[in-house]
Amino acid sequence: METQEQQTFTNTFILKKNEKLQSFIQTKGTLGFASTFFDKLTFQITNEAGISLNEKDSDVSFIKPEFNLRYVFAKNHYASVIANYGRLDNNVFKNIDLFKDIKSGYAIGYSYDTFIGPIELN
């Protein structure tokens, strides 16, 4: 059991540790669509963008489009090809220079629809 003096020290330490936290506001939006061709091939595009605003001048924003092509090769079995691109910077929307320093990622995947939900390996 702690004494009153030890409890006060612990609470003071936690308070000082939390003084370094900075407040910020964060917002994010997603927009996407999907279209199916020939009952077996689906193309999906998803776009995400967001921004974090804090008390200093270093606002951080990001933009990330993702392209997904999915093919049904048997009942409940799917193969996917996925590509995504992203940019993270202090202000990616400044001067509408969205294609500077883009990072990219690619994947192939397999999905199976089970009775408890889909299982996906990428």
In tens, the pLDDT along 97-110 reads: 767 788 999 999 99
Residue 5 covered by a domain: no
Asked if the structure places residue 18 within a domain, the reply is no
> What's the mean per-residue pLDDT of the chain?
80
* Residue 104 maps to a domain: yes
User: What are the tens digits of pLDDT across the range 46-83?
Assistant: 999 888 877 666 678 888 999 999 999 999 999 999 99
Report how many domains make up the chain: 1
SS3 annotation, the chain: CCCHHHHHHHHHHHHHHHCCCCCEEEEEEEEEEEEEECCCEEEEEEEEEEEEEECCCCCEEEEEEEEEEEEEEECCEEEEEEEEEEEEECCCCHHHCCCCCCEEEEEEEEEEEECCEEEEEC
Instruction: Flag whether 99 is in a domain.
Output: yes
Domain assignment of residue 110, yes or no: yes
User: Is 7 among the domain residues?
Assistant: no
Tell me, yes or no, whether 3 lies in a domain: no
Residue 9 in domain: no
Domain extent at residue 93: 23-121
